[in-house]
Structure 1
Amino acid sequence: MFQFIKAIFRLFLFIIIVTGFTVAYARYIEPNMLKVKEVSIESSFFQTDQKELKIAVFGDTHFGDYYTLEDFSKVLEAIDKMEPDLVVFAGDLIDHYDSYSGDTADISAKLSEISAPYGKFAVFGNHDYGGGAEYVYESIMEAGGFTVLKNKYYPLDEIGVAVIGVDDVLIGYGNPEIVSWGRPDYYNIVLAHEPDVMDEVLDYNVDLMLSAHTHGRQINLKYFDDYILPAYGKKYIKGLYDFENARASRLYVTSGVGMTKLPFRFLSPPELTKIVIKKSS
C-alpha cells in the first residue's frame, strides 16, 4: 500500500513539473521566438519580365501588454534582411485601442522603417474596427508608409500584378466582390484578414490570397478548435493551401506575431513569411 501511494505521489509530482514547464514555455519562451518561413510559388499567370517577386507577409501584431514595439524589432530586422519587393500587413494592429497606453506615432515610426520598391499594403482586421480603432487605424498605417486597401483594387502595371484588398468581414464593410476586378492577364494578389473568405472568391481571377486572423491557433491544440478558432477562421488555419479551380489559386494564412486574449503561444511560434513568386518553367 505504501509503495502504491509513493508511486501516485511521484506521478502527481511529475505532472505538476511538466505542467509548470509547459506553462512557462508558452508564456515566456515561445512568444519571444520568431519563425521566418519561406514559401516558393510558381504560376503561369506571373508574366512579368522580372525574375521573381519577393513578398514579406506579417499580421496580428496586436500591440498592447502582450506584444510591444521592442518585440516588433525582430520583425523589422528580419524584413530588412529579406529585401522584399512588396510588403503586406494582414490586419489586427493594436489589440484594444481604447486601453492602449503607447503612442501610436511610435508604431507609425517603426512601420516607416520598412521599405519595399513596389509598395507596402495593409487591410483592416476585426481588432482594427473593434476597441475604438476604426477611425485611427488607417492614419496610423498611412503615416508608416502603408496603403490601406478598403475594398480597393491597386494595379502595379509595370509588373502586371494587382493587389486587391477586402475589408474586414466580421465588423467592417468587407465586400469580396471587389475581387472580381482582377484582370485575367495580371497576377492578382488578394488581401483579406479572415482566411475563410477564400471560398467566396474562388470564381474570380485570384492567384494568391494572403490572410491572418487565426494565429495558427495560438495555442495549437486542434482538439479545441471549436473554442479557439474565430469566425471566418475555422476552415483555413495556417500555411499554404492549393485549390483546383481555373487559376489554381493559392491561399497563405500566416500565424501572426502577436497574441490576444491570453499571453501564451504553444506549438505556434510568431511567424514572418517570405513568399517568392516565380514564372512556371
Structure 2
Amino acid sequence: MVQANRQLSDRQFRSLAELIEGQVGIKMPTAKRLMLEGRLHKRVRALNYSGVGEYVDNLFDKAVLDEELTHLIDVVTTNKTDFFREPQHFEFLRTVAVPELLKLPDRKSNDLKIWSSACSTGMEAYTTAMVLDDMVQAGRRFQFRILGTDISTAVLRVATAAIYNREVIAPVPAPFIERYFLTSRDRARQEVRVVPELRRLTNFTRMNLMDSSYPVDRDVDIIFCRNVLIYFDRDTQRKVVEQLCSHLRPGGYLLVGHSESMIHSALPKLRQVQPTVFRL
C-alpha cells in the first residue's frame, strides 16, 4: 500500500490538475503527469511523506492547503528566463516605444511605468532597466519605474536580491556588465549583483494573473507578458489579456512571447505593430 502511494493514482492526478488549473491557469494534461510527480518529490521529502500520493491526499485538507499552496505553485510553475531574452523587444523599446510614448499628447510627465507581469527571477525587469537607463545616460530626458510581479515567491526572492551566477549574464553586452553589475568579493562564488541604482528603480511583489483584479496602476506605458499565455487555454488567455490591457494607458504597449503572437484576436482593440508587439 505504501509503495502504491509513491505514485499518483488517476483520481489524485485529476484532482491535482484541477487545483493547479484553477489556481494558476496552467493546464496539466496526462502527458505532464511524470513531470508533475518529479517536481513534487522536493515537497514530499520536505514534509516527510511516503510519496506523492500521500502528499496529494493530505493537500486537500484545508489547513494543509492554506499552508502548502504557495510551495505547490513554486514547484509547478515554469520559470525559464534570461537576460536580453528575445532581444528585438528591447531594441523596439529603445528605438520605437519609448520615443513614441514620450510624444503622447496627453502625457503629463516624462515618468514611464513598466510592468513585467510574469517577472520570474527578475532578468526581464533588470534588462529593461539597463536599456532605459542607458537611454537616460545618452541624454534622453525621462524617468522610469519598473514593477515586477509573479505568482512564485521563490523567484521573487531571487529577483529582489538581484544576485545571479556569472554565467547567466553572458547575453548582456560587455559595457552593460561593467556598468550595471557588481562582482562578488569572494571570487570562488562566481556571483554578480545588479547595482543599487537599478535595484532602486524596480519593485517586486507577488501577484496571480488569474486574480479577478490586479493591484497595479491603470496608466502603465509598457507591459511585458512573455511566454506565459501559452500555458493558458483560449478563454483564460482572453481574460488575462483583457485584464492586462485595462492597466495600459491609451497608446501603451503589450509585449508577448514569440509563440504568443496571435493573442490580439483575444482583444480586438489591440493593434499589432510587430509580430509580438501590440499597442492599445
Relative contact order, higher structure (CA 8 A, sep 6+): 1
TM-score by length of 1: 0.35
Structure showing the higher helix proportion among its residues = 2
TM-score by length of 2: 0.35
Structure showing the higher strand proportion among its residues = 1
